[in-house]
Amino acid sequence: MKIRKLSSHRNNCEIVRNKLINRIKKRQKSALTTTENCVWNCFEIQERIMLTNWKITWLILILVFINIMVVLSTNAPLPVRKARLAGMSPRAAIGFLENHRFKMDKTNAWSPKLLAKHEAPPHSAPYIVSIQHMTPDNGLVHYCAGTIINEHWILTAAHCLTSDETVENSLIVAGCHDLRASDEGDCVQVRPIDHYVRHELYLGGINPYDIALIYTKRPLHFTEHVQPAHLPEQDTLPEGSGTLYGWGNISMTLEPNYPHRLQEAEMPILDMELCERILAESGLQLHETNLCTGPLNGGVSICTADSGGPLVQSCCDGYDEEYIVIGIVSWGRMPCGQKNSPSVFVRVSAFTNWISEIISTATNFE
């Protein structure tokens, strides 16, 4: 087990209460993870940091034309580095994001060109976090999501943590519904990524074991808007349907449309044999640790910037309804929402023991 460490001196970055985030170095590298093996999730991380990169745009057009899948990331290991964050308050940084990220947010009304996702009731998924990258020119840019497991640990996709330039300048934003709202400051909690653990068998791309854990030294404070999700029992097989939450692309075309408010969608869980047959027609393979969702008639799917986010089911007897995270957004076909194009998740129950072992043994961080 390899535990990646980012510097732990960045402890004071909570919105409203803290004054400044540490300075980002003046000459930040513009080079990003190679797109040679990139398809939708990896492309998305880069696209949301450098939307003007026309070479990447042409690459995605070529990939769509030949109908291949989007590979998520490179295989390069992340070196240990100090995090460097721009010198502005988290509230100011989130507001600054509006000029870059939300200029494509054209409409909230559903149309045939938009996925059938809907705005979630505010703070109805208090376990979801936005993972945002700090850029020198465009402020904070949402590129992945994650799920709160406890006050120190966030569950996400391994492909979200394969670019050192991105991770070392990223923040975890919890308790947020509207990413550009200025009146949520008292509810939102911001934390640095101090350490992270990618599954040792993850090889990048659309390979299996696309699961990772993020550790933040400063604990999250649980409130009405910030709560953990439950883990499933090891090796249980979810049935029925699950609810997807995220701020991912809602466009069914090549022109992205990123909502600033949290979206939700009900996703029917598919039989694995059926899903395998459908993907095999495109030369793609599933792994036993994956989870597939429809609908196969199109219109609803995971998409770019949903990566790492949760698929959940309600659970448990009691007065308060609670939720189990059953899936982690991993990969899908581009454009999003096509017919006969299942959404592929990591099945969390295949890794419950792995998660528990990491959390219970990785306790002595410097």
Paired strand residues for 311: 244, 327
- The SS3 of residue 273 is helix
* Cis peptide leading into residue 335 (ω within 30°): yes
Pull the structure tokens for residue 148. Answer: 């709160």
Q: Strand 322-331's sheet: what is its strand order?
A: 118-119, 263-268, 241-246, 310-315, 322-331, 343-347, 290-293
Beta strands in 237-349 (DSSP E): 241-246, 263-268, 290-293, 310-315, 322-331, 343-347
User: How many CA atoms within 13 Å lie on the side-chain side of 238?
Assistant: 32
CA 32/CA 53 separation, integer angstroms: 11
Catalytic residue among 142, 152, 159, 225: 159
Is 159 known to be catalytic? yes
In the 8-state DSSP scheme, what is residue 222? -
Catalytic residue among 163, 307, 341, 343: 307
- The SS3 of residue 260 is coil
Pull the structure tokens for residue 362. Answer: 């990785």
CA 362/CA 219 separation, integer angstroms: 15
CA 92/CA 18 separation, integer angstroms: 12
Backbone angles phi, psi at 47, to 5 degrees: -60, -40
Catalytic residue among 73, 210, 260, 306: 210
Rounded to an integer, what is the distance from CA 62 to the centroid of its chain? Answer: 25
- The SS3 of residue 118 is strand
Q: Cα dihedral sign for 254, 257, 258, 263?
A: negative
Q: What residues are labeled active site?
A: 159, 210, 307
